Structure 1
Amino acid sequence: MKSAVIVGGLVVVVTVAVAGVSAVTQVVTQDQAADQARASGALTCNASLGPITSGPAGSGAGDASKLSGEQRDNVAMIIAIGKERQLPPLAWQVAIQAGMTESGLRSLNHGDRDSLGMFQMRPSMGWGSPSEVTDPDYAINKFYDVLEKVPNWDEQRPGESAQDVERSAFPDRYHKWEPMAAHLIGNVGLVPDPTGCGQGTGLLVPAPTKAAGNAIQWALGQQGKPYQWGAATSHENSFDCSSLMLQSYRAVGVTLPRVSRQQYRAGAMLPVEQAQPGDLLFWAYDTSNPDTIHHVAMYIGDGKIVEAQQTGVPVHIRPVRWGEAELMGQAVRPGV
């Protein structure tokens, strides 16, 4: 029995080495191709900045179809004023996501404390008078005024820029409307390809970096180490699911948040079926609600993941099925 265990272990090690080399080779090749595209000027779109859309296929159109006439009129005004100011479609998307989150894209005469209007601007904080902030034209222009003063607003996800303007106590909520806003700037704004990167979510995401390949190698090197819920990230003796991801990417200079729900917001999103080596996959009790995410793993290619799964199960490789229970529809590409 002992020799069989040793032999089996050797077979696993050989398999892992081959899988790791294959994944790293694929990532490096893709990264070189991406570098060449950037050098030639081929990537002159939001793909070089981050994702413009996310969410299950069709979710943006579905949410947009539920908008009332007032809401669609305000979307049209956001887009029209954005065009007048010669702002890119990404700016319109930021405003749509902020307006939908703050007021449901309605010019409200009430809100938290003295918050008013489409963007829930507070007169007491210098946003304008009550009559001004409840005027859609004024509110949209004021929003754009502040957005343009945000450093590098056009180099991050739309929801992050919306948060930079609004300063909400709940910063993650702006991301929810990303698919709908992207659909609207194409549909209402009549921009067939607003990012300049081609159709489909997956084409809007930069290729994996060389760091992803090295992160895979680091994660594979932890196989056999025990699972420990809440494992400290200051040692490499044991891991839980998110600490393995954090340390794997930290080892190559990419910073991730500590818990899986936060890691879901820490990179570019793409359909899970289009995941590449180094991308993170997530599992949730309710796949329509990222707040219920409870597990994360790293895709290493060839239909396999490396993960710290649960108590009693050491860090290991296993096959993954795209349609398996609780798997989120989006993968996340850290570091881009």
Structure 2
Amino acid sequence: MKSALVVGGLVVVATVAVAGVTAVTQVVSQDQAADQARAMSMDCNATLGPITAGPAGSGAADAARLNDDQRGNVALIISIGKDRQLPPLAWQVAIQAGMTESGLRNLDHGDRDSEGMFQMRPSMGWGTPDQVRDPHYAINKFYDVLGRLPNWEQQRPGESAQDVERSAFPDRYHKWEAMAAHLIGNVGLVPDPTGCGQGTGLLVPAPTQAAGHAIEWALGQQGKPYVWGAGTNQQSSFDCSSLMLQAYRDAGVTLPRVSRQQFRAGAMLPVTEAQPGDLLFWAYDTSNPDTIHHVAMYLGDGKIVEAQQTGVPVHIRPVRWGEAELMDQAVRPGV
């Protein structure tokens, strides 16, 4: 059967021979909107995520669990950010840091002498104990340090939070990305905090032409065996992440080696809005990206291509939103 897949500004034509379970994908055209979205990607935060309530992964559910005190601290973070004329991305960095460090609570205790919403340590020069427990002082101090970081506006908000906090667990700030983005729109009343266009779908740049190339390459590996830890300098066998790495490498996009790292290697979006070329992930605990154990490439039309497990060659299979262990977020490499 033949199906035409619209990938943002790309029209991808996929021909699938059902009997042979093979597919050939060709990128036919790319419109000006996709070019414009990529051109502006350095001026907006492509990974901010959706800012409206809606599909799983939007952050609305996590935001709804905050109590009045926590939401009051979110409002203060946003209010001070506005007063300082800082962009919404700065508010998001502070919200993610505060949620990770203290659950957005003004604590009078913590690890060693850490205190306050951001668990600042007086012994490390963050201020006196009374100061770091003062939310107004702590938020302004956080923004002071953030503003001195080089290129903080060009990286993912969780990475900037880590650069301020210098935690021994750097990946944990990403967990609250979708929730913080939702709060910026819901509490901050900012309809377009990224400057990338209004509406959930436009906040993530359209798939690049590399996505079509990566799909074509991955589909060309069907039937090859699964081998855990397969080398990435050969194409005779694959595991899940080596297939993704090599498919995108052939398209000119560099991905890390393992699936947990690949989850951090692109723009995030709700999995229900995945488009062809986006990566889908499975985890033992879908609230903890550190437990990710599998990655596959979405083809559109409810199908993925994957190197699944020992004894099962590279193949296409159907995927269902909400199936067991499927993460709520998809990742778009190369944007």
Using structure 1 for the length normalisation, give the TM-score.
0.84
Partner of 1:105: 104
Render the CA deviation track for 1:256-295: whole Å, top value 9, x for unaligned.
2222122222211222232222111122334344333221
CA RMSD of aligned residues (A): 2.7
* Secondary structure of the structure 1 residue equivalent to 2:20: helix
The answer to which structure has the higher helix fraction is 1
Change in CA separation of 1:186 and 1:302 when aligned onto 2, cut-off 3 Å: closer
Partner of 1:325: 324
Q: Matches of 2:312 and 2:231 in 1, distance apart?
A: 18
* Secondary structure of the structure 2 residue equivalent to 1:226: coil
Q: Matches of 2:55 and 2:150 in 1, distance apart?
A: 31
Aligned counterparts, 1:189-208, within 5 A: 189-196=188-195, 197-200=197-200, 202-208=201-207
The answer to which structure has the higher strand fraction is 2
8 Å Cα contact 2:106/2:116 also seen in 1: yes
Change in CA separation of 1:36 and 1:308 when aligned onto 2, cut-off 3 Å: same
Overall identity of the aligned pairs, in %: 78
2:48 maps to which of 43, 48, 51: 51
Q: Matches of 2:165 and 2:193 in 1, distance apart?
A: 24
* Secondary structure of the structure 2 residue equivalent to 1:16: strand
Q: Matches of 1:44 and 1:251 in 2, distance apart?
A: 24
Q: Matches of 2:227 and 2:218 in 1, distance apart?
A: 16
Report deviation, 1:38.
6.3
Alignment of 1:293 with 2:301, yes or no, is no
Alignment of 1:173 with 2:180, yes or no, is no
Q: Matches of 1:286 and 1:314 in 2, distance apart?
A: 26
Partner of 2:221: 222
Report deviation, 1:139.
1.1
Q: Matches of 1:184 and 1:33 in 2, distance apart?
A: 28
Partner of 1:3: none
* Secondary structure of the structure 1 residue equivalent to 2:281: strand
Q: Which amino acid aligns with 1:16?
A: A
8 Å Cα contact 1:52/1:178 also seen in 2: yes
Report deviation, 1:131.
2.3
Report deviation, 1:94.
0.8
Alignment of 1:147 with 2:146, yes or no, is yes
Partner of 1:12: 20
Partner of 2:309: 310
Q: Matches of 1:36 and 1:140 in 2, distance apart?
A: 35
Partner of 1:6: none
Change in CA separation of 1:46 and 1:109 when aligned onto 2, cut-off 3 Å: same
* Secondary structure of the structure 2 residue equivalent to 1:78: helix
How many residue pairs are counted as aligned between the two chains? 316
8 Å Cα contact 2:226/2:309 also seen in 1: yes
* Secondary structure of the structure 1 residue equivalent to 2:299: strand
Q: Which has the larger radius of gyration?
A: 1
8 Å Cα contact 2:48/2:178 also seen in 1: no
Q: Which amino acid aligns with 1:225?
A: K
* Secondary structure of the structure 2 residue equivalent to 1:67: coil
Using structure 2 for the length normalisation, give the TM-score.
0.84
The runs of 4+ residues in structure 1 deviating greater than 6 Å are none
8 Å Cα contact 2:58/2:182 also seen in 1: no
Render the CA deviation track for 1:167-212: whole Å, top value 9, x for unaligned.
1111221122222222222232232343342232x32111111222
8 Å Cα contact 1:246/1:255 also seen in 2: yes
* Secondary structure of the structure 2 residue equivalent to 1:94: helix
8 Å Cα contact 2:49/2:58 also seen in 1: no
8 Å Cα contact 2:56/2:272 also seen in 1: no
Gaps of 5+ in 1: 1-8
* Secondary structure of the structure 2 residue equivalent to 1:12: coil
Partner of 2:12: none
Q: Which amino acid aligns with 1:199?
A: G
Partner of 1:157: 156
Q: Which amino acid aligns with 2:47?
A: G
